[in-house]
Amino acid sequence: MANMSVDDAMRRAITLAARGLGTTSPNPVVGCVLLDRDGALVGEGFHAYAGGPHAEIVALAQAGERARGGTAVVTLEPCDHTGRTGPCTAALIRAGVARVVLAVNDPDPVATGGIETLRAAGIDVRTGVRAAEAEAGNIAWLTAVRRDLPYVIWKYAATLDGRLAAADGTSMWITSEAARTDVHALRGTVDAVLAGVGTVLADDPRLTVRNLRDGSLAIRQPLRVVVDSSGRTPAGARVRDAAAPTWVATAAEVGAGPDGRVDLTALLSALYRRGVRAALLEGGPTLAGAFFAAGLVDKVVGYLAPKLLGAGPAALVDAGPRTIAEVIDLEYVDVRRVGPDLRITALPRKREG
């Protein structure tokens, strides 16, 4: 097999890591590529599910003795603690690797320390290789762990003029089946799906991950969270069925903000303690506006249909700005066609000062 550069090996490790999106939480996604002394690929792996073997362990098992004297290329600093699995640092040291190349240092205070342990064992450690790319692939987990709050993605579907529904309230279907299928794939990458009680009362959504062709459910379902300040979610609502776990979060349980409604920061903190690292905010415009007003949205994914209504509810209300000087600034990071619709991904810009 042809030799592989460390840079190419890291690119491959980042691609491998992405395979774990949606199944590793509360652990990060991690990819690992092992090169022998001559730079030939002898093992690779990714962290597939929480409690399962880490990426380094999978790659070492493939490489066997060929790992001795070789290089481990890993997207995240190898863990240095014993949790549900043993420390990856110890496994790398036992395998006799000569060098470890990593992209991003581990911000988790429990797991960090791997670099020092490896260097103390005489292993050459290089950091920061393709760091920006690896960070982007693991951004939800990294952001959540750094601040102890989940990474929040606001998803909405609207007409080109920003309407969620017609003036009479009808909204099925503004976007295409291709866009709706894409949304289910997006749900499959997060740990929780959030909706307001208003959306539950109006639309009775399931908030599950499904195959739209046959209606079958995905194996892993995110936690369904209904933000319901006064506990109005009906007993017969579809979010209360057995298809996925559900939490109806009330102000009495979570805590109330100054307006008497669920304190959203307290809600996210409680979700983090439950193991939620990425959350998808789905409905509706009032809840989304409250999240923006509190500065709690990290990413926007909008599906825009090539349709116009000219009336009906807007995609977002009461998000905070009252003048153009207070506008929430976004940076487009991806724009692409999904069937006849556009999917726009954007990140809120940080305000200076």
Annotated active-site positions, please? 56
Closest CA to 239 of 263, 257, 221: 221
Burial class (CB in 10 A: 0-12, 13-18, 19+), 165: buried
Maximum alpha-carbon separation in the chain: 70
Q: Is the distance from CB of 6 to CB of 101 less than 8 angstroms?
A: yes
State the Cα–Cα distance between residues 279 and 268, nearest whole angstrom: 9
Q: Is the peptide bond prior to 205 cis by the omega test (within 30 degrees of 0)?
A: no
**Within 13 Å, how many C-alpha atoms sit on residue 338's CB side?**
22
Pairing mode of beta strands 31-35, 41-46 = antiparallel
Residue 100: both structure tokens together: 């470890």
State the Cα–Cα distance between residues 194 and 191, nearest whole angstrom: 10
Q: Is the distance from CB of 316 to CB of 293 less than 8 angstroms?
A: no
H or E element at residue 278: strand 278-283
Exposure letters 61-88 (e unless 16+ CB within 10 A, then b): eebeebbeebbbbbbbbbbbbeeebebb
CA 214 to chain centre: 26
State the Cα–Cα distance between residues 166 and 54, nearest whole angstrom: 49
- The angle, 0 to 180 degrees and rounded to 10, between the axes of the packed helices 88-95 and 55-63 is 20
> Which residues, at least 6 apart from 189, have a Cβ–Cβ distance to it below 8 Å?
21, 22, 278
What is the DSSP track for 106-162?
---TTT--HHHHHHHTT-EEE--TTHHHHHHHTHHHHHHHHHTS-EEEEEEEEETT-
